[in-house]
Amino acid sequence: MSNIDRRTLVKGSLAAMMAGAAFSRAALAQSSEPILLGVSGPLTGPNAQYGTQWKQGFDLALDEIQAAGGINGRKLAYSFEDSQSDPRQSVAIAQKLVSDPRIVMELGDFSSPASMAASPIYQRGGLVQFGFTNSHPDFTKGGDFMWSTSVSQADEQPLLAAYAVKRLGLKKLAVLHLNTDWGRTSRDYFVKAAKEHGAEIAVTEGYIAEERDFRSTLVRVRDANPDGLILISYYSDGALIARQARQVGLKQVICAASSVYSPKFLELGGEAVEDVHVGTRYFPEDPRPEVQTFIAGFKKKYNGVEPDAFNAYAYDAMNMAAAVVKIGGTDRRAIRDAFTKVKDVSSVIFGKATFDVESRRVKGAMNAELVVRKGQFALWDGKPT
Amino acid sequence: MSSWLDYTINGLIVGNVYALVAVGLALIFGVSRLINFAQGSIYLVGAYIGWVAVVQLHTPLPLTIIVVAVAAALVGLIIERFGLRPLQNSVRIAPLLATIGISFVLDQLVMLTFSPNPRALPSQLPDIRFQIGGGTIGPLDLLIAGVGLTSALLLFVFLRYSKLGWAVRATAQDRDAAMQMGVDVNRVNQAVFGIAAALGGVSGLLVGMYYNQIDTAMSLQATLKGVVAEVVGGAGNVPGAVIGSLLLGLVESYGVAVFGTSYRNLFAFLLLVVVLVLRPNGLFASARQAPPEPLTGTFIAPSRPVRIPRWALLIATAVFAILPLLPVSFYVLQTLINAWLLGMLALSLTLVAGTIGQVSLGHAALLAIGAYTSALLSLTFAVPVGLAIIGGGLMSAALGTALISPSFRLRGHYVSIATLAIGEIVSLVILNWESVTRGPIGISGIPPLSLFGYELVSPISIYWFSFIVMVVLALLQGRLLGSHLGRSFRAIRDDDIAARAYGLSLNRYKSLAFIFGGFAAGVSGGIAAHLYSYINHETFNTQQSILALTVVILGGLGNVVGAILGAVALVGLPEVFRIAAEYRILIYGIVLLLLVRFRPQGLLGTM
């Protein structure tokens, strides 16, 4: 086996040498070595769960990409480097990936401190840093090698505000948000949009990621007398807040950002998340073919488990990477340029994703207005809860 | 106002939850004068064993509690027998490091077995709510309060009236004397660890059920809050731990009430510092009680440092200096840059912890102060980067010393806990002081390193820059240790009463050590800020403080070369184990434990 591999490799490189630079791409296409992407993300440490979800999304996308014949006949693969979302480790990983000639581009990292600390190294090293969960407004300002498919909060939050204020008719809102760069940026966009729709913001409360007890926060919320609670949370803290809100007797409508969209939210929240409204980018019964392929494929691969938002981001990111590499080949600069050329890549989150070359982000995320009914996410039927 | 009643009740409910962990910590501290950093991990293990019992085996609640208690007690016994007992006669600080290593290993084992995804741990009690004030409490609140109070009461009675309890207290007061009186000290320790671990496990189970959620990140938070509560109540005092927990819960709740949610932990840690400064033995320490720490320096026992010949050091410096000229990858250079930056931090910590005996657990705060100062100076006031970094160092030296000075009167573990709290306070102030620090959004676009107008952007130039800065700091520190100042520092560490009797002003020397140490740490943070180009309140976190302490203990307290060697080892090992993917932190924890086991005085020994 390995003999044959080596022989083809030798043949490939000999051919490349003989044919010269002009034909190098054809020679590479013959090579049996997979095209390698570097991933920098948390597999251990406090954010390990998100790295695990990335892997699930990546692996599913890769199965489909390989089944469709790979990239011009070559397989696509990734090498996952655990950063623990720690900037010290992500910068070392960045150097490692930049100096590894096999790596054609990089995906990640998860948190802003880890990702943006590594950006200067990727920028100077001329390797694309494709941050697909990096919503920090300054992420893509790190240089022309920084690209992101993370849904811009300037896009997402007005959709949520429209759902809460115009569709659900909430007039006086309490906003609870994760006090991170993401939560803070989201809150600001949400508050702005909600005010434009004519709602009043009764109170906003930021909490740190490790917080588990929200009872006292909820007393503040109660005293502000809102008619709706907005959660800018991840699924685990979102579920905690919903549970405790119901336990302390708050009966207001709860409306949450798409990041709670996960089967874990239902599992952790139990009865308390019944009737919680969630603005998401896709939903299980969405007739779009890319959504149906994604959900069916995911359930098949992972024993019937429903995918969540982070799985979808990773799945989309890998498909985007494949599309970009198809155009750009294996040259790092050509790959960067390919980001400007790639068009209408089918995507769970965006439908058809095309980069805005100016901001190096994708605009126009899809919108679905869901509500939890009988322990399942369902499309909201317009009935008040 | 009715809201205040609600805030009070909420505070008591949360305090109730903290009490479960605090009681276990207090018990262990009471006997072995050890902050058991693995207590949170036992809590985690208990929660997951509980999950297996409830979700997979469908055991009824009483049986679940028994299963969890027994299994957790077993884990505690194993930790005591294989992790801590071999370190009994070594340096007092070695067991502390061992518990850190054990907590790495336990957390990783749980993560690898159960995956890091959070899980629901359904409560097995009926869902009845009782209306109290504006809110409600459920049966689980009552059960948690019951378990907390009953265990505290039982422990109190056990310690006061039973024979084994007397033995425990005798061991706590004077281990050698107890042994001479025929107390089987090992059995006492075993009993204590078994009980504390059982409590820890059950608390993990109950808290998991309470929030219907367990995940692998819960262990560090549990330890932190437990330690705060325990120390507020008086370290080693079991009923005090319960009251301390309730007080902590109340202060947090009122903090939220008055200032808002993002200030919650700020109040928890401020409470701790205030209590430590006003009543160093905790709120409920009796006046007659013997001081909880030994009067003389057995906390950091001197050992014979390994003598490294001067030529060997020169050769090593030369090799590292010319390394970028050799064919090594940028990855290796970047890893070593990280090591040099951590080395500067370790130099700082080894001075304050090793040489003068103030074991700090909040050293990342100095990095953060240096980093923010340097970043803001260069961004807002366009100060050249080289000067901005020095500014960061000076600010760290000044602010760090000012912040720590109220706790100069503390000894031993209490210094560690006070500095831990100060570290958290600095991080929370950075998060909340938005007009200056830009809060959670952080500071982006920090200019790259530059010197005299030349940008240092290639890994080679950054490598040389950080290496030279570290070597200069190390040489300065070496000179300092050899001077009369260094001798005075060590005198204070080894016997502060004798030092005072000799006419040394403790506070002045402690300040000097923190000024020098703060500068080194601030410079390290400043360089990091310009290297990363983006920092926020999470960049320099508690894990970094713990890592720095690990480096220093591993290298040998007070040992300059040891600090640098430790930094290279602890930055390098996780990178070397990268090939093991998810298993690398587990392997790292095991290696750490083995190092502590066989070199408890550190690789190069205490100076």
* Structural domain total, chain B: 2
Size of interface A-B (CB pairs under 8 A): 212
Confidence check: pLDDT of B565 > 80: yes
- Cβ-Cβ contacts under 8 Å, A113 against chain B: 442, 532, 534-536, 538-539
CA of A225 to nearest chain B CA: how many angstroms apart? Answer: 13
- What residues of A are in contact with residue B256 (Cβ under 8 Å)? 216-217, 220
User: How do residues B456-502 score in pLDDT, each as one tens digit?
Assistant: 888 899 999 999 999 999 999 999 988 988 888 888 888 888 888 88
Q: Do A217 and B261 touch (CB under 8 A)?
A: yes
Average pLDDT, integer, range B291-314: 68
Burial B72-95 (b: 16+ CB within 10 A, else e): bbebbbebbeebbbbbeebbbbbb
**Contact criterion met (CB < 8 Å) for B134 and A222:** yes
CA distance B269 to chain A (A): 15
B contacts of A103 (beta carbons < 8 Å): none
pLDDT at residue B470 in the model? 95
Q: Search chain B and give the residue with CA nearest A139.
A: B444
pLDDT at B410: 80
Range among B155-169, B287-301, B411-425, B468-482 with highest mean pLDDT value = B468-482
Contact criterion met (CB < 8 Å) for A95 and B330? yes
Check residue A60 and give its pLDDT. 95
pLDDT, residue A12, reads 43
Query: Torsion-angle region of residue A69: left (phi > 0), alpha (psi -120 to 50) or beta?
Result: left
Residues 326-355 of B with CB under 8 A from A: 329-331, 333-335, 338, 341-342
Whether B183 is in a domain gets the answer: yes
Same domain for A373 and A251?
yes
Is residue A112 less than 8 Å (CB to CB) from chain B? yes
B88 touches chain A (CB under 8 A): no
User: Is residue B301 a part of any domain in this protein?
Assistant: no
Q: Are A335 and A229 part of one and the same domain?
A: no
Q: Residue B388 has which token pair? A: 């901005």
What domain range is B167 assigned to?
2-278
Angle value at C-alpha A345, between A344 and A349, nearest 5 degrees? 105
Chain B hits for A112, Cβ within 8 Å: 442, 534, 536
Structural domain ending residue among the three candidates B278, B298, B325: B278
Q: Say if residue A109 is preceded by a cis peptide, omega within 30 of 0.
A: yes
Instruction: Find the residue in A nearest to B104 (Cα).
Output: A45
pLDDT value of position A112: 87
- Nearest by CB to residue A236, choosing from B14, B215, B221, is B215
Contact list, B253 vs chain A (CB under 8 Å): 215-216
Question: B577 falls in which pLDDT band (50, 70, 90)?
Answer: confident
| 10-residue stretch averages of pLDDT, chain A, 385 residues long | 42 42 44 87 88 94 92 90 91 92 93 91 94 88 91 87 91 93 92 93 91 89 92 93 90 92 91 91 85 93 89 94 92 93 90 89 86 89 72
pLDDT at A21: 40
CA–CA dist A170, A177 (Å, integer): 18
Model confidence pLDDT, tens digit, residues B4-14: 888 888 888 88
Any CB–CB contact under 8 A between A375 and chain B?
A: no
Whether B3 and chain A come into contact, CB under 8 Å, resolves to yes
Q: Does A95 touch chain B (CB under 8 A)?
A: yes
Residue of A nearest to B127 (CA): A247
A266 touches chain B (CB under 8 A): no
Residues 174-233, chain B: which have Cβ within 8 Å of A?
211-213, 215-218, 220-221
Residue B308 has a pLDDT of 84
Given CB atoms, is B325 within the 8 Å cutoff of chain A? no
The predicted-structure confidence for B252-266, as pLDDT tens digits, reads as follows: 999 888 888 888 888
User: Which residue, among B444, B568, B585, would best test binding to A if mutated, counting the most A CBs under 10 Å from its CB?
Assistant: B444
Paired tokens of B440: 């959670």
If asked whether residues B100 and B200 sit together in one domain, one would say yes
Instruction: Give yes or no: residues A46 and A172 share one domain.
Output: no
Dihedral (CA of B263, B268, B269, B270) sign:
positive
In CATH, what number is assigned to the domain containing residue A193?
3.40.50.2300
Task: Dig out the tokens for B220 from the structure.
Answer: 């560090």
Confidence of residue B297 (pLDDT cuts 50, 70, 90): very low
Q: Pick from A54, A106, A185, A216 the residue to mutate for testing the B interface (most B CBs within 10 Å).
A: A216
**Amino acid in the structure at residue B39:** Q
Give the closest residue to B541 by CA, choosing from A122, A239, A180, A232.
A180
Question: Measured between alpha carbons, how far is residue B234 from residues A115, B266, B287, B414, B419 in Å?
Answer: 42, 20, 12, 10, 17
Q: Are residues A373 and A247 in the same domain?
A: yes
Query: Contact at 8 Å (CB) between A274 and A373?
Result: yes
Nearest to A247 among B115, B129, B335 (CB): B129
The nearest alpha carbon in chain A to B585 belongs to A44
Characterize A298-314 residue by residue with b for buried, 16 or more Cβ atoms within 10 angstroms of its Cβ, and e for exposed. Answer: beeeeeeebbbbbbbbb
pLDDT of residue A31: 61
- Nearest by CB to B136, from A180, A249, A268: name it: A249
B177/B171 Cα distance (integer angstroms): 8
Residue A14 lies in a domain: no
What stretch of H or E contains A177? strand A172-178
CB contact under 8 A, B584 and A138: no
Count, residues in chain B = 607
Let me know whether B19 and B139 are in one domain.
Answer: yes
- A265 CB contacts (<8 Å, ≥6 apart)? A235, A238, A239, A273
Q: How many domains does chain A have?
A: 2
Angstrom distances, CA of residue A38 to CA of A78, A96, A120, B168 = 6, 10, 16, 55
Percent of chain B beyond pLDDT 90? 32
Interchain contact, A52 vs B115, CB within 8 Å: yes
Contact B116 A222 (CB under 8 A): no
Query: Mean per-residue pLDDT for B571-600?
Result: 83
Facing residue for A181 by CB, picked from B329, B442, B459: B442
Question: Do A263 and A166 belong together in one domain?
Answer: yes
What's chain B's average pLDDT?
86
In a domain, B409, yes or no: yes
Inter-chain residue contact A117 with B264, CB threshold 8 Å: no
Q: Domain with B431 in it: what CATH number?
A: 1.10.3470
Q: Cβ contact (<8 Å) for A87 and B115?
A: no
Query: A216 and A122, same structural domain?
Result: no
pLDDT of amino acid B219: 87
Note whether A267 contacts B: Cβ–Cβ < 8 A.
yes
Give A364→chain B minimum CA distance, Å: 24
How confident is the model at residue A1, as a pLDDT? Answer: 36
- Given this model, what pLDDT does residue B178 score? 83
B-chain residues near A39 (CB < 8 A): none
- A36/A104 Cα distance (integer angstroms): 6
CB pair distance less than 8 Å for B261 and A247:
no
User: What is the β-pairing status of strands A361-362 and A76-82?
Assistant: unpaired
B127 inside domain:
yes
Based on the fold, state whether residues B243 and B321 are members of the same structural domain.
no
Least confident piece of the model among A19-23, B226-230, B282-286, B595-599: A19-23
The CA radius of gyration of chain A, in Å to the nearest whole number, is 22
Residues B254 and B359 in one domain: no
| CA–CA dist A168, A255 (Å, integer) | 9
What is the residue range of A113's domain?
34-151+291-353
| In a domain? residue A363 | no
Confidence of residue B289 (pLDDT cuts 50, 70, 90): low
| Rounded distance between C-alpha atoms, residue B365 and residue B348, angstroms | 12
d(CA A297, CA A303): 10
Are B599 and B555 contacting, i.e. CB atoms less than 8 angstroms apart?
no
B312: number of Cβ within 10 Å: 11
Lowest mean pLDDT segment, chosen from B110-114, B160-164, B251-255? B160-164
Residue B298 lies in a domain: no
Does residue A112 lie within any of the structural domains? Answer: yes
3-state secondary structure of B146: helix
Question: Phi-psi bin for B464: left (phi > 0), alpha (psi -120 to 50), beta?
Answer: alpha
Tell me which residues of chain A, numbers 4 to 33, contact chain B at a CB-CB cutoff of 8 Å.
none
Whether residues A203 and A75 share a domain: the answer is no
> Which of B238, B263, B278 is a domain's end point?
B278
CB contact under 8 A, B261 and A205: yes
Q: Does A119 touch chain B (CB under 8 A)?
A: yes
Which residues, including other chains, have CB under 8 Å from residue B43's CB and lie 6 or more apart? B21, B200, B201, B203, B204, B207, B218, B219, B222
Extract the tokens encoding B65. Answer: 């509690």
* Residue in A359, A307, A382 with CA at minimum distance from that of residue A149: A359
Q: Are residues A109 and A198 in the same domain?
A: no
- Claim to verify: residue A333 and residue A215 sit in the same structural domain: no
C-alpha to C-alpha distance for A119 and B92, rounded to whole angstroms? 43
